[in-house]
Structure 1
Amino acid sequence: MNITRMTRRGMVAATALATGAVLLTACAGGGSDGSAGDGAGEIDIWALQGQDSENAALQAAVDGFNSSQSDITASLRLIAGDTYTTTITSTPKDQLPDVLQIDGPTLASFAYNGKITPISEYVSQETIDNATPGSISEGTSGGELYALAQFDSAMGLYGNKSLLDAAGVTYPTSIDTAWTSDEFADALAVLSAASPSGKALDLNEAGLAGEWGTYAFAPFVWSAGGNLLTDDAAAGALDSEASVAALTDVAAWKPFVDSNADGNAFPDGRVALGVGGHWNYPAYSEALGDDLLVMPLPDFGNGPKAGAGSLTWGIGAGTDDGSAAGAFLDYLLNDDNVTAMTQANGAPPATASAFAADPLYKEGGPLALFGEQLANSCASDAITDGCVAVYRPITAGYPTVTSQFASALSSVWGGSAPLKALQDAATTIDQNFADNDGYQQ
């Protein structure tokens, strides 16, 4: 979920991460350079098949590019989300397309295995300068820029104002007034007691063992002062006292959580709170109207944190015409195409100009809090108290990191001791890194 962004498109892509982990570590190498070419001819584009509205926006961008000039002809191929990552990892670089969509957390793996090439010499400086800091962070590996995004993702805590007011629960109205972990637990108890369902929270329980688990729940670890990795090591970070405390607190929420088998626990009013992302906003807004609240996730001690990251766009390492591929990316990342895509999927734009103009995320907009979070973003190896939106680790070993963290989270949710679950995950991650020489490029 680049957990990838967590729209349906990104959530489907996330299911391929664990499957692709073995393939991603099958060889050791570094980013490869394509050929600049003469900036003319035919280029192939691969993208993850998303919602119909997203597919239409992307096809319109390709068609618009083709009609805007006569030197380059671009052809689009959409690939099903559940096979997208494995298709890229199993395809030799000389058979990969000129331009391809990359789920953010897999980018470092693709660079490490020579699937993609740095893009700075192919896209314009204007395009790079207009990218949001999050897009640059997510698209950079080993000091090289490999990809840029059309859109980002944002998440937090949704609330039902009527249910909160009826239960007498005071709720946060800004990042600075986020509930503490203890206050959140108290609110869950009060709301559950006041609810006919006996439950207070939806957190997409079914997705805990997948990329949703890392995207949505690593923020609680970061907020507590823990981490998934420190200096490319999990031991001492993932199994730290802070990380263990965070998952201990999260596991204590279970009695108050609706399993949400029908997907309607929050919009139908069975629960007053829901952990979710920007992709939930259209349905939640339609269901609740003015009762819909957008709030930060609880603060576990080092400021509230939230997941971020999305699908990005890069250039295949085997391209014969990086110049033509770069020209397409310049066109794809202009305001018209970025806005068309974000209107299709509701995601926050990943270009500075489009983000500043988006009525959803700007000050006074219904998702302004999400916009503020993204404006205060950081990488997971440079977290500060003031950083809110955190991007997942940029490492070729990410498939193992996310698989092990999500498995530990799911195990803890099922009743396992947090310390043991996180120690086991850290041991597996560190062994994987050792087996691959630390994934050094």
Structure 2
Amino acid sequence: MNTPSRRSRRTACTALALALPLAALGACGGGSNTATSAEKGSGTGTITVWAHQGQAGESTALQNAVKSFNSSQDKVKVKLTLIPDTDYTKTLTATDASKLPDVMEFDGPTMANFVYNKKLAAIDDYVSVKTMANATDAIKAQGEINGKHYGLGMYDSGLGIYGNKKLLDAAGIKYPTGLSDDWTAAEFTAAVTNLAAKDSDGKSLDLQESGGYANEWGTYGFAPIIWSAGGSLLENGKAEGVLDTPAVASALKTFQDWKKYTDPNTDGNAFAKGRVALSWVGHWMYPTYSKALGDDLVVLPLPDFGNGPKTGQGSWQWGIGANTKNGKAAGAFLDSLLNDTNVTAMTTANGAPPGTTSVLAKSDLYKQGGPLQLFADQLAKPCGDSRSDKSCVAVTRPVTAGYPTVTAKFSQALAGIYGGADPKAALEKAARAIDQDFSDNDGYKLP
């Protein structure tokens, strides 16, 4: 592979930003290993806040949180700007650090890039000890770089397999009841195969393939296979030797073999309409699936490829702009934003796993005995972003400013493998490309 010039790498990065809404630009800034600290300020006055404009319920919850904070005291006034979701990350990326707000929301995997480009400051000195202690371990893992926290989230995310109990029982399929008796990859494949044999069109599985896999869904949805096979997307700044191992190639060959049993799901209703018995997707489909199946809906962990079942995690986070002159006021707003009232309102609106221990414990969906307890159980066993062992489950996508390259190259390889490419060759090519980019950019060293 030819090594592109610095200029051409930046041009490629611009295209990547347009292609990957979850990814900020990896090699498009001068980053250094010098940390950026916000100014403490007076703790009074007006602060600016930027957030993505998500679904209507989320926006309303956020607007109400701002109104409540502004009316609860007279020291700090928050001025909120909502930016359309499709433009949000590109706006943060294109805006000079000096023009960014005091407080900003950002998608979890982009955090390291914004730290690298001196757009975010550590928040540890500005949010209260209580707020930090109340964050779940998985949320803290997503927001941490070298012992400092640059973000905290109101909510998290997770993956699982939704099952149609009626169809599973009719086929005589024994299925897991929780993390402790998860399917092995072979058992999952056998279930898929047996269900397909009893189905008129030979399809038993939904893998949310309609949008393709050469995108962030490819990475978020199926990197758990890599981790469960004992591999990693990246370790110590290198992909070769962890992404392209024989065990990972074998696991993705299994993934490839599922295609013949998978409904293309072009209408989005394969599982809800009962065309398939199993759907590999995240917590966000629960409302639709629960409404469609009622008591026939079961929630199962992803299969174990040898290193224990794994799931992705991480979502939108909140941080403090590196150039704020009022870190104390910014921290006061974050303390308010992350209180029980606001986190409850937000997670009621979007159905996501709460990012604080206090709200998680009381959530009707995620509490012990709730219909989505599995997701909470998974998030209670965080791996961080390091190579995981069997005892942990929820893995953070690599916390690196080079994440755009990692996700682009891996998801392209995944899409190729699903389409019939040789897993070993595709993974080796992806690993080489990732390592070349990291070498070109001095490893994307972070403070």
Q: Provide the TM-score with structure 1 as the length reference.
A: 0.95
Match of 1:51 in 2: 55
Task: State the AA in 1 paired with 2:359.
Answer: A
Q: Secondary structure at the match of 1:314?
A: strand
The amino acid that maps onto 1:187 is A
Aligned to 1:6: none
Rounded to whole Å, the distance in 1 between the matches of 2:172 and 2:19 is 38
The answer to whether 1:25 aligns with 2:28 is: yes
Which residue of 2 is the match for residue 189 of structure 1?
193
Are 2:241 and 1:221 equivalent residues in the alignment?
no
Matches within 5 A, 1:19-168: 20-21=24-25, 25-29=28-32, 30-168=34-172
Change (3 A) 1:382 1:417: closer
Pairwise CA distance, 1:17: 3.7
Q: Residue 144 of structure 2 aligns to which amino acid in structure 1?
A: T
Alpha-carbon distance in 2 for matches of 1:21, 1:414: 28
- Name 1:377's counterpart in structure 2: 382
Query: What displacement does 1:439 show?
Result: 1.1
Counterpart pick for 2:285 among 268, 280, 292 = 280
- Quick check: 1:356 aligned with 2:361? yes
Distance in 2 separating the partners of 1:207 and 1:50 = 22
SS in 2 for 1:353: helix
Q: Provide the C-alpha distance between the structure 2 equivalents of 1:230 and 1:250, rounded to a whole number of angstroms.
A: 23
Q: CA deviation at 1:356?
A: 1.2
Cα deviation, 1:327-358, whole Å, max 9, x if unaligned, reads 10000000000000000001111111111111
For 1:416, which of 412, 416, 421 is the aligned residue?
421
Q: SS of the counterpart of 2:20?
A: helix
1:14, distance to aligned residue in structure 2 (A): 9.0
Secondary structure of the equivalent of 1:102?
A: strand
Counterpart contact for 1:98–1:321, Cα < 8 Å? yes
**Matched AA of 1:143:** G
- The alpha carbon displacement at 1:196 in A equals 2.6
- Once the two structures are superposed, the pairs formed by residues 253-264 of structure 1 within 5 Å of their partners are 253-264=258-269
Tell me how far 1:202 sits from its aligned partner: 0.7
The residue number in structure 2 matching 1:251 is 256
C-alpha change, 1:382 and 1:240, in structure 2 (3 Å) is closer
C-alpha spacing 1:330/1:144, structure 2 compared with 1 (3 Å):
same
Q: Deviations over 1:355-401 (max 9, x none)?
A: 11112111111011111111111113141201111111111111110
CA offsets per residue over residues 38-75 of structure 1, 9 Å max, x none?
Answer: 01111111111100000000000011110011111111
Aligned to 1:170: 174
Counterpart-to-counterpart distance in 2, 1:32 and 1:84:
23
Unaligned runs of 5+ in 2: 1-16
8 Å CA contact 2:18–2:90 kept in 1: the answer is: no
Query: Do 2:48 and 2:79's aligned partners in 1 also have CA atoms closer than 8 Å?
Result: yes
The amino acid of 1:25's aligned partner reads C
Match of 2:396 among 391, 398, 402: 391
Residues 162, 279 of structure 2: 8 Å contact kept: yes
Partner of 1:430: 435
Distance 2:380 2:36 in 1: 32
Unaligned runs of 5+ in 1: 1-11
Q: Say whether the 8 Å CA contact 2:69–2:333 is kept in structure 1.
A: yes
RMSD, aligned α-carbons: 1.5
Contact 1:199 1:271 in 2 (8 A): yes
Measure, in 2, the Cα distance between the counterparts of 1:127 and 1:175.
Answer: 29
Equivalent position SS for 1:147: coil
Please state how far the C-alpha of 1:26 moved relative to its aligned partner: 2.5
For 1:43 and 1:394, the matched residues in 2 are separated by 28
Deviation at 1:198, TM superposition (A): 2.0
Q: Which amino acid aligns with 1:309?
A: G
Counterpart Cα distance in 1 of 2:35 and 2:276: 47
**Aligned equivalents of 2:124, 2:104: Cα separation in 1:** 16
How does the TM-score come out when normalised to structure 2?
0.93
Cα contact 1:156–1:295 (8 A) shared by 2? yes
Equivalent pair of 2:249/2:427 in contact (CA under 8 Å) = yes
Amino acid at match of 2:428: Q
Relative distance call for 1:13 and 1:291 in structure 2 (3 A) is farther
Shift of 1:117: 0.4
Amino acid at match of 1:108: A
* Same amino acid, percent of matched pairs: 54
Displacement, 1:407? 0.6
Measured in 1, the distance between the counterparts of 2:28 and 2:184 equals: 40
- Is 1:308 the counterpart of 2:313? The answer is yes
Q: CA deviation at 1:21?
A: 2.6
Residue of structure 2 equivalent to 1:340: 345
Q: Secondary structure at the match of 2:42?
A: coil
Give the conservation status (yes or no) of the 8 Å contact 2:203–2:261: yes
- Partner SS, residue 219 of structure 2: helix
The 1-side partners of 2:287 and 2:277 are apart by: 17
Q: 2:150·2:320 contact (CA, 8 Å) conserved in 1? A: yes
Structure 1 Cα separation of the partners of residues 77 and 229 of structure 2: 50
From 239, 242, 250, give the equivalent of 2:247. 242
Q: For residues 199 and 19 of structure 2, what CA distance do their matches in structure 1 show? A: 34
- What is the count of residue pairs matched by the alignment? 428
What SS does the aligned partner of 1:410 have?
A: helix
The equivalent residue for 2:370 is: 365
Give the conservation status (yes or no) of the 8 Å contact 2:232–2:387. Answer: no
CA–CA separation in structure 1 for the residues paired with 2:220 and 2:80: 29
Q: Distance in 2 between matches of 1:158 and 1:143?
A: 36
For each residue in 1:212-254, what CA deviation from the matched residue of structure 2 results, as whole angstroms up to 9, or x when unmatched?
1111111011111111112110011111112111111100100
